Amino acid sequence: MIKKFRIPFEVVIVLVVLIPHLYAAFSPPASLMNWYRTDDAYYYFIVARNVAAGHGFTFDLINRTNGFHPLWLFINIPIFAFSGVDRILPLRIIVMLLALLNAATGVVIYRLLKKYFLFGTAALISMLWVLLPSIHQVTTEDGLEGGLNAFSLAALLLISSWFLDKVKREKQAKWDLIWVGLIGALALFSRLDNVFTFTAVGIWLVLRSFPFPKYLIFDEILIVAGIFGAAILRFGFSDEYEVALLSTYTMLVLAMLIKPVVYLFFGLYKALPSPSKIKGVMRILLAVTSASLILGAIMVLLNSIGIFKAFPRSMVFYDWGLTIILIFASRTCFSRLFSEKGQQFLQVWLVWIREHLKRIFVDGVKYFSPGAIMMVVYMTWNKVHFGTPMPISGQVKHWWSTLPNTVYGHPFNLKVFLSVSSSGNYGPWSLATTWLDKGINYLLTRYDKLSEPNYWLVFVVSIGLIVWGVSALLRSSRLDWQEKIHRIGLHALLAGCLLQISYYLATSYPNPRTWYWVGEMLCIILFTAVLLEALAHFLINHQFKEKGILIVEIVLMVVLVYLNIRYLTSLTPWSDKAGRNEDYLADARGLEKYTPPGAVIGMTGGGTVAYFVRDRSIVNLDGLMNSAEYLKALQNDEGQKFLDAMGITYINGSEYMVTASDPYMGLFKDRLKRIGTIRGLEGFTLFKYLNPLLEGE
């Protein structure tokens, strides 16, 4: 077996990442600006700059704000303290910082995989993470917390695997789980919605020897597929789905609790006769039908007492039909997995809990205490300093979903969930599904067959073929893939990601962005490692040499390096086009031309402009980087008074947005006098804000 490389492969990863990024970091300012693709990055930069300058946590030098994930902001503060008044130097430093985080994540992924996978698999997957443009854009180019988030999640899986290895060798120390908890806290404060993954990993570690039946996670996946499939059959992919969002999510949670218990009662997990025989058919039909009746009765009861806005009862029927198909298919393809003979799981579980109750409590305290203590301190600090315990940005986005006529975001529906919507890579699984969406659209367009029914027919058939192919590969490879998944913690990461997605689905959260889905991207990459390992074992079992497989993998890595270098050099060219070397300043200079020094200018967004504008204050009108008092004023229809008191003198934004959409058309009623469109601010119009408190000035 090939286990070593002459040069430590970690060194290769670091060099492959850092050298091209040095080119990008020192590129001319106009090219460097191509790196930061989103306005949101400048929200962090401006607040960090103001903190470093002694102004406190503020975006506009007027309002206190906590609309940020804390760890990334605190990392940025010393960079801006070192850079002083220079606006370009910190951007160069952050390019290299994110490159270092990307390289570190690649190293962590490599070390996580190399313990349980072939060298070629670990090496190729780590290089895929650090070099693939669709990952690089989210973790390295956005200038946001994505790179830190990726590193902390990968580190949490690595140290969890390290801890379980020590437990297996009976060499764990009493402080080991506390160190794991500290890394978990790092992940938690990298992105606060990592609370779901933090919790899932903790449960995995604390219940590490719990006798979970192997089939349970697979049946839970089938249950998720059945519920979402029922929603698709009932609503298609129309926005009508939003009305039944809460009921769908509730039905999913109840199904995941009820169905396995009913299946256990009907004996679907012990010596199940073949589904091709009448006894096996009847047992499956009775189990699925009973579970659906119980689930449907509870959902109807909850609907009758007014818990939901809407609950389509036909979903119970659709779920029943899909579940029968999925149960028959799973028991046919994986009959051994779903037939653990003679298991009396309830009795075994109770005995195990009695024997391990003390250890569960102690281990739970060790793992969860660091994150819990730090979260209490963080929330207390927020409440005292900002008037709200959690970041204001999340509260603002939830409030957006209540506005009847807002332009913010897009509905997070099932189509976005599958990442095959017009929103493209906004979906959590876009790394795996975007190519499929593009392929289907290309194929149907070429033959002039593109339509909604044809698209979904081809999509469902394609997914079915992919699932069949993956199942066949895992079976024929003779790889213990379940053990591999457990060793690297992929099951815990997946559980955390599904809970995170469910949270956004259930709360109708508008405008989820690409950097929300770093955990899902890591899930996809790690599952790709399992598939690549299965393929390698399949080939070795059929007399292919491991050395030959490794050569192919090395060639693929070289191709990835070449494509990455081409991508980065095209993104940040060193040759400025004539007359365009300061185009990135056009927006800020345009505002400076038409507004006096000291002007207080309200903007929707405004991060990039606020970063470069001189002697003006930019107020973030959407509220993401504003105060809790501002949000409260908007909610109470007192926003106009708040803006007046703040001393707003100009409004700059999309004319339609500020005059015809919520909340701005009410907020600016009888307050705007149009000045005109400013060169450089494409699509933005400048208005004089008629502030009655300043009329005499």
Neighbours of 307 (CB within 10 A): 13
| Token pair 């192997």: residue | 214
> Which positions ≥6 away from 59 have C-beta within 8 Å?
43, 46, 47, 50, 65, 67, 610, 618, 619, 620, 625, 626
What's the pLDDT at 239? 57
What's the pLDDT at 264? 78
Q: Is the pLDDT of residue 659 over 50?
A: yes
- The answer to whether the bond into 453 is cis (omega within 30° of 0) is no
Instruction: For residue range 374-399, list pLDDT tens digits in order.
Output: 999 999 999 999 999 999 988 888 88
What's the pLDDT at 152? 97
What CA–CA distances, in Å, run from 441 to 436, 447, 458?
9, 10, 10
Q: What's the whole-number mean pLDDT along residues 168-182? A: 89
Q: Is the pLDDT of residue 576 over 80?
A: no
What's the pLDDT at 342? 44
The beta strands (E) that lie in 50-160 are given as none
What's the pLDDT at 581? 63
**Amino acid occupying residue 315:** M
> Which positions ≥6 away from 55 have C-beta within 8 Å?
61
Q: What's the whole-number mean pLDDT along residues 245-259? A: 83
Q: What's the whole-number mean pLDDT along residues 663-672? A: 89
Q: What tokens does 20 get?
A: 């091209």
Dihedral angle sign, alpha carbons of residues 136, 138, 140, 141: positive
What 8-state DSSP symbol labels residue 617?
A: E
Q: What's the whole-number mean pLDDT along residues 13-35? A: 91
3-state DSSP call for residue 533?
helix
What 8-state DSSP symbol labels residue 637?
A: T
Q: Residue 410's beta-bridge partner residues?
A: none
Weakest mean pLDDT among 345-354, 532-541, 589-598: 345-354
**pLDDT band for position 438 (cuts 50, 70, 90):** confident
Weakest mean pLDDT among 155-164, 225-234, 606-615: 225-234
Neighbours of 425 (CB within 10 A): 17
Instruction: For residue range 25-71, list pLDDT tens digits in order.
Output: 998 888 888 888 788 999 999 999 999 999 999 999 999 999 999 99
Weakest mean pLDDT among 116-130, 498-512, 585-599: 498-512
Instruction: For residue range 458-470, list pLDDT tens digits in order.
Output: 888 888 898 889 8
Q: Is the pLDDT of residue 1 over 50?
A: no
Q: Are 309 and 241 in contact (CB under 8 A)?
A: no
Give the whole-angstrom CA distance, residue 144 versus residue 622.
19
Give the whole-angstrom CA distance, residue 22 versus residue 162.
33
Give the whole-angstrom CA distance, residue 359 versus residue 208.
11
Instruction: Look at the chain and count its residues.
Output: 697
3-state DSSP call for residue 441?
helix
What's the pLDDT at 696? 53
Give the whole-angstrom CA distance, residue 289 versus residue 320.
7
Give the whole-angstrom CA distance, residue 659 versus residue 409.
18
Instruction: For residue range 65-93, list pLDDT tens digits in order.
Output: 999 999 999 999 999 999 988 999 999 99
Question: Mapped to the 3 state alphabet, what secondary structure does 542-607 carry?
Answer: CCCCHHHHHHHHHHHHHHHHHHHHHHHHHHCCCCCCCCCCCHHHHHHHHHHHHCCCCCEEEECCCH
**Element of type H or E holding 686:** strand 685-689
Q: Is the pLDDT of residue 553 over 80?
A: yes
Q: What tokens does 231 get?
A: 């929603």
What's the pLDDT at 415? 64
Q: Is the pLDDT of residue 173 over 90?
A: no
Instruction: Report the relative pairing of strands 617-620 and 672-677 from DSSP bridges.
Output: unpaired
Neighbours of 287 (CB within 10 A): 22
**pLDDT band for position 449 (cuts 50, 70, 90):** confident
Weakest mean pLDDT among 168-177, 324-333, 685-694: 324-333
Q: What tokens does 334 get?
A: 């994986």
Question: Mapped to the 3 state alphabet, what secondary structure does 364-427 carry?
Answer: HHHHHHHHHHHHHHHHHHHHHHHCCCCCHHHHHHHHHCCCCCCCCCCCCCHHHHCCCCCCHHHC
**C-alpha closest to that of 421 among 452, 445, 464:** 452
Give the whole-angstrom CA distance, residue 41 versus residue 50.
15
What CA–CA distances, in Å, run from 248 to 241, 340, 399, 417, 429?
9, 32, 21, 14, 20
